[in-house]
Amino acid sequence: MADIGDRSQLLLVTAFLLAVSFVVLALVVNSAIYTENIATRDDVAGSHEALEYRAELQQSVGAVLTAVNKNSTLTQTEFNATVDSLSSAGAVLQSTQGRLVNTAVSNIEDGTRIAQTNASRNFTSVGGKQEWILTDSNVESVRNLRLNISDPGTSQFSLVANDTDTSDADWRLQVVENGSDQIDVVVTVDGGPNRQCVRDHDGSTVIDVTAATVAGKPCLALGQLQDNTGTTQWIGANIGDSFRLEFENADAVTGRYSAIIGPAGSANTTALQTSQQSDEPFAVGAIYSATVDYAFYTSAVGYETKIRVAPEEVPP
């Protein structure tokens, strides 16, 4: 009888432990689901602050990333240190409002910055070639691609994303003067219909390719998700998995330009300087993206996530 009693007690203890385990497991699963769901909801008490601060943090880190890439004397070390200081300052401010916030850079994705900073120079290569290749054919991602046109000229300049593996399919942006005080921007995807934006030109017109604006105004030709045939318009869309960047008729325009290409692509260093120059186009190492671990806690909300920071990155 003692053995039967002992076994009964053992079964009861085992059942109790299993029940506790299931409750703990349910709490863990529910916590994970809750943490994930508040990223898409603003009706959870306190979640608005977590998401609002996340957006502010992403914007601030993006500004730091852009500044570091523009200054050749700054490196990833300075980037990490600046983000850490943002984290510390933000944590102190948030703590005064009963919030615990922690951020840290967990990953850096290397890239390459290609640029020209001389506003009075045309867009030819080092050595003066009009038709030239800026990168190899392995570019899969590009962001912060901007052309700041000082003089659009009367001949048509082209920026081309050329997929050399798919019968030379290409995405093409063309720039030309329209009268004496306007600029035409025309986008064509793989020989399809032209999409056009016309803007006033006052001596400096910024064509922000990856933000889809011209002279600070939205340009449907650059940002249209789909045309009437279902073709996406943003740079590199619908021409293959990778491409190379090219300039055609590069002496037709003068101005500045800059782009950050992702880790899969490489700059054509035979046509570009390999250190930051004031007079000629160059290619230097850059940060393409950063991943920041973000944690936000109050008495009502616990939220943890990873934030990818890659300003003006176009969709894949």
Helices (H), the chain: 2-37, 47-70, 76-95, 220-223
pLDDT of residue 46: 58
pLDDT in tens, the chain (316 residues): 444 454 454 445 444 444 444 433 333 333 333 334 434 444 445 578 889 889 999 999 999 999 999 998 888 999 998 888 877 776 666 676 677 888 899 999 999 999 999 999 999 999 999 999 999 999 999 999 999 999 998 899 999 999 877 666 789 999 999 887 899 999 988 777 888 999 999 889 999 999 999 999 999 888 765 555 555 677 877 777 889 999 999 999 999 999 999 999 999 999 999 998 778 999 999 999 999 999 988 888 889 999 999 999 887 6
Chain segment 70-128, per-residue pLDDT in tens: 998 888 999 998 888 877 776 666 676 677 888 899 999 999 999 999 999 999 999 99
- Token reading at 302: 């616990």
Asked if 31 and 303 count as a contact pair (C-beta separation under 8 A), the reply is: no
Dist CA 288 CA 285 (whole Å):
9
- The SS3 call for residue 177 is strand
- Reported in sequence order, the residue ranges of the chain that DSSP labels E, i.e. its strands, are 100-116, 132-133, 142-151, 157-163, 169-178, 182-189, 195-200, 205-208, 213-214, 217-218, 244-248, 254-261, 282-297, 302-309
What are the backbone angles phi and psi of residue 59, rounded to the nearest 5°? -65, -40
- Prediction pTM value: 0.81
Residues 207, 209, 210, CA angle at the centre, nearest 5°? 140
Strands of 157-163's sheet, edge to edge? Answer: 132-133, 244-248, 157-163, 169-178, 182-189, 195-200
Q: Which backbone phi and psi does 108 adopt, to 5 degrees?
A: -125, 130
